[in-house]
């Protein structure tokens, strides 16, 4: 068992972004909105001071060191989300039956997939906007996890079952991801 004396990661906040902390919950506010997330672990401390966030751990072992890196990555994604946002681009691909896509409330509807009569539905998570224009689908939001999960829901809804996927390559697939 290897023990590292102390790990200390410092994240400096850009201009126009502020952070606050209540117990284990860290809230980051920016131009596009605000995100809140809890960072709780008995050995790891997350402190917000002025324009910096400090993630530290004393007498860390391998798992605590990995968790400090995870906390830092989540905080960086929150900062990037409230300042720039995240947008994934998807493409509707079909060769046999023309697929029609649309947004209906909290669901993304895929009609005529492989000639099926019943439409397939994918859940759109809260805080995520989906726009369907012809064959392109744009999924955007400030929370990276919710945007990514919505894209995964759409891809999963168009999973081909009981057919040869080498022949039936129809579906809605992610083509790019990134910031707005």
Task: State the Rg of the chain over Cα.
Answer: 21
pLDDT reported for residue 19: 92
Domain end position, chosen among 47, 67, 83: 83
Find, among 169, 153, 176, the residue nearest to 113 by Cα.
169
Return d(Cα 113, Cα 116) in angstroms, integer: 6
Residues 135 and 79 in one domain: no
Q: What's the pTM value of the predicted model, to 2 decimals?
A: 0.86
Looking at the structure, do residues 73 and 136 belong to the same domain, yes or no? no
Residues 71, 140, single domain; the answer is no
Q: Per DSSP, what are the bridge partners of residue 60?
A: 4
The string of pLDDT tens digits covering residues 137-180 is 999 999 999 999 999 999 999 988 888 777 777 888 888 887 65
List of E strands, 24-82: 25-29, 34-38, 44-49, 52-60
CATH code, domain with 28: 3.90.930.12
Number of compact structural domains in the chain: 2
Q: Print the domain residue range for 97.
A: 87-179
């Amino acid at each position: 068992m290897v023990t590292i004396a102390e790990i200390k990661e410092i994240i400096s906040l850009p201009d126009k972004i502020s952070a606050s902390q209540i117990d284990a919950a860290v809230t980051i506010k920016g131009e596009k909105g605000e995100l809140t997330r809890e960072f709780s672990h008995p050995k790891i401390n997350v402190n917000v001071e002025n324009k910096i966030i400090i993630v530290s751990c004393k007498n860390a072992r391998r798992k605590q060191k990995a968790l400090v890196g995870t906390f830092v990555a989540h905080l960086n994604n929150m900062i990037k989300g409230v300042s720039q946002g995240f947008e994934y681009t998807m493409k509707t691909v079909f060769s046999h039956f023309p697929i029609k896509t649309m947004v209906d409330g909290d669901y993304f509807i895929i009609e005529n997939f492989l000639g099926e009569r019943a439409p397939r539905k994918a859940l759109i998570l809260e805080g995520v906007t989906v726009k369907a224009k012809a064959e392109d689908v744009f999924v955007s939001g400030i929370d990276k996890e919710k945007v990514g999960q919505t894209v995964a829901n759409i891809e999963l809804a168009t999973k081909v079952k009981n057919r040869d996927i080498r022949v039936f390559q129809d579906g809605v697939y992610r083509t790019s991801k990134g910031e707005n």
